[in-house]
Amino acid sequence: MDSRFLMSLQIIVAGAQKIGAVPHGTRVTAPIASGHFEGPRLQGKVLPGGADWTLLRGDGVLELDLRVTLETDDGALIHMTSFGLRHGPPGVIGALARGESVDPSTYYFRTTPRFETGHPKYTFLNRLVAVSRGDRRPEGPIYTIDEIL
Amino acid sequence: MRSRPLMSLRLSTAHTQDIGAGPRGSRVTFPITGGSFEGERLRGKVLPSGDDWTLKRPDGVVELDLRITLETDDGALIHMTFEGVRDDGPPGGSYFRTVSRFETANAKYSFLNRLLAVGSGQIRADGPLHVIEEIL
């Protein structure tokens, strides 16, 4: 399927909140401290206050459920949500858990961002479907987000 | 983004349920009466009784929210959902894209539990057709 680059989004997470074992798996919430995004059509920073609500399922797949607010460099606020999946060989996932740098091609980390904004310059974001490839760095994830054409 | 074909999904729908103008837009629910899906790794039929709950927003974009059950030709049941947008507005063609997720307990198809998929939809005379690809 055809796609085109929308932006690269780096998110810096604060201390994880380990909720623990819940009915659907193991829940860890990662508050968002800051971040930035950059692409040909939009760039700016991530506002503090969002979080990524993660759930490690019984089959070893991590579900991610991110909600953040983006602020463009010209002052537009964009509500972003993103559901994703992350999984891989146990050795790779273990290295990620230890905070090591891992080649992102060795595991599956994909998300499907959605956007909402009231700013007229960016309303194209309200009308598109996107996918992203994640790269889990020790300080937080970097998402390469493509618009589905 | 790299992807590979997962399946073509054809749906048949009953008369729409026009819920009408609600606080978030105009709601129309499409009951799914059946259908079929076909791909290299799975094929079978769509069981009746799912729905696509659609919402036409004030900006003209239709949001889709589908839940159906697939039954493969070897008897596995697969819970499928998708969300998507349909935008008939842009000149030069409609934009109709979805993001699918699957859940199954059947070991042969458990790869579906671990992937995200995107679909390109079109409305045909005999109902909607979605060409769905796995995101690699």
Q: pLDDT tens digit string along A61-88?
A: 999 999 999 999 999 999 999 999 999 9
User: CB under 8 Å to B124, separation ≥6 — which residues?
Assistant: none
Touching check for B97 and chain A: CB below 8 Å?
yes
Contacts of B99 in chain A (CB under 8 A): 112, 129, 131
Touching check for B99 and chain A: CB below 8 Å?
yes
Q: How many CB atoms lie within 10 A of CB B84?
A: 24
Structure tokens at B3: 């992807």
| Composition of chain A by helix, strand, coil, percent to 5 | 15, 60, 25
Q: Rounded to whole angstroms, how far apart are CA atoms B93 and B96?
A: 10
What is the Cβ-side half-sphere exposure of residue B51, based on CA atoms within 13 angstroms?
Answer: 12
The pLDDT tens digits of the residues spanning A6-61 come to 999 999 999 899 999 999 999 999 999 999 999 999 999 999 999 999 999 999 99
pLDDT at residue A102, rounded to an integer:
95
DSSP state, A57?
-
Contacts of A87 in chain B (CB under 8 A): 114
User: CB under 8 Å to B82, separation ≥6 — which residues?
Assistant: B64, B65, B66, B98, B99, B100, B101, B119, B130
Q: What is the pTM of this model?
A: 0.93
DSSP state, B18?
E
Touching check for A59 and chain B: CB below 8 Å?
yes
